[in-house]
């Protein structure tokens, strides 16, 4: 099967491409900078940009399943990334329909049940709707925090724990999440290529452990073998806190701000049907954390571990 992986140099795309090749798929990558794609990661690379629309027709030619793993938050002015993301999704969807693509697979985010979604999550669901409406039988996977050595949200938390002797936790510390192992996300993505048409639609994918963000940070610190005192704040102060936290973690504030807004509500799955439907056996949180930190240390030392 001919597949296309966009975002092929990102966390999910770089792990997915070799997995698809091992499963017997021919894998094409789409990248604005083909030179950044490691040799042997995919069978071929097409230069292109979903926002501008360049290269999409060539990239999607002959493709049966296309993975849409793109976001545009970094470096964007407040709210501007949502316009870019929707424009990119619309252009990609139009090109996919023209090429006769059978399925698009998208990785988005869980939505709060009891509150208005953040800019980040509202943009994710808007992209999801564009892609699912364009190609019937497409699959959208919604995840909260992904535990993996290259996952940006996980790396952000690890850097804060590593670099701050005292953690000032905003009011969102008590909200709950269900982190998912990066290995399980990869399994869901890979199985989506050949899943039956009856599985088309959106699915919430989450790990089996539900805990507050404060407890998650404590579990990560424990696996890093460090002790960090925490101070509970009564407010969120996200606009200011995100800028400070991004500077501490060495991240882009344009990415961290929208991500931190998403923490202001519980982010839990609507149900637990996805694992059985796709035949994925989920890893527990402690195993996911230990694996992610061990993989991190293969390439980069963690000063606090």
Task: Give pLDDT, residue 33.
Answer: 93
Q: Which residues of the chain have pLDDT under 50?
A: 77
Q: How many beta carbons lie within 10 A of that of residue 284, not counting itself?
A: 11
Task: Give pLDDT, residue 252.
Answer: 87
Which residues, at least 6 apart from 138, have a Cβ–Cβ distance to it below 8 Å?
Answer: 103, 104, 105, 106, 131, 132, 200
Task: Give pLDDT, residue 305.
Answer: 57
**For 138, left (φ over 0), alpha (ψ -120 to 50), or beta?**
beta
Domain ranges within the chain, ordered by starting residue:
2-143+179-205+268-278
How far is the C-alpha of 5 from the C-alpha of 190, rounded, in Å? 11
> 2-143+179-205+268-278, what's its fold?
Rossmann fold (3.40.50)
Task: Give pLDDT, residue 256.
Answer: 87
- Condensed to tens digits (0 to 9), the pLDDT of residues 73-113 reads 555 545 578 888 999 999 999 999 999 999 999 999 999 98
- Residue 190 contacts residue 249 (beta carbons within 8 Å): no
> Three-class SS of residue 182?
helix
pTM of the model: 0.94
């Amino acid at each position: 099967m001919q597949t296309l992986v966009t975002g092929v140099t990102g966390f999910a795309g770089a792990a997915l491409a070799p997995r698809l090749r091992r499963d017997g798929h021919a894998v094409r990558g789409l990248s604005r900078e083909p030179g950044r794609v490691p040799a042997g990661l995919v069978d071929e690379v097409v230069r292109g940009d979903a926002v501008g629309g360049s290269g999409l027709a060539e990239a999607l030619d002959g493709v049966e399943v296309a993975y849409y793993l793109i976001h545009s938050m970094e470096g964007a002015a407040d709210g501007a990334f949502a316009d870019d993301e929707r424009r990119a999704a619309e252009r990609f969807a139009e090109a996919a329909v023209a090429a006769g693509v059978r399925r698009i697979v998208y990785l988005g985010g869980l939505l709060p049940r009891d509150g208005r979604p953040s800019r980040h999550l509202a943009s994710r669901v808007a992209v999801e709707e564009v892609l699912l409406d364009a190609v019937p039988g497409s699959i959208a996977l919604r995840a909260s925090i992904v535990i993996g050595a290259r996952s940006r949200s996980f790396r952000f938390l690890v850097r804060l724990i590593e670099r701050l002797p005292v953690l000032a936790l905003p009011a969102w510390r008590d909200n709950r999440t269900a982190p998912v192992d990066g290995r399980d996300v990869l399994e869901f993505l890979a199985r989506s290529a050949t899943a039956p048409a009856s599985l088309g639609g959106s699915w919430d994918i989450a790990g089996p452990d539900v805990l507050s963000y404060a407890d998650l940070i404590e579990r990560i610190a424990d696996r890093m073998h460090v002790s960090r005192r925490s101070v509970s704040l009564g407010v969120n102060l996200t606009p200011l806190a995100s800028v400070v936290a991004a500077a501490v973690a060495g991240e882009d504030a344009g990415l961290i701000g929208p991500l931190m807004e998403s923490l202001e509500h519980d982010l839990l799955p609507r149900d637990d049907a996805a694992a059985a439907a796709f035949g994925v056996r989920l890893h527990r949180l402690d195993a996911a954390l230990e694996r992610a930190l061990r993989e991190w240390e293969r390439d980069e030392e963690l000063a606090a571990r």
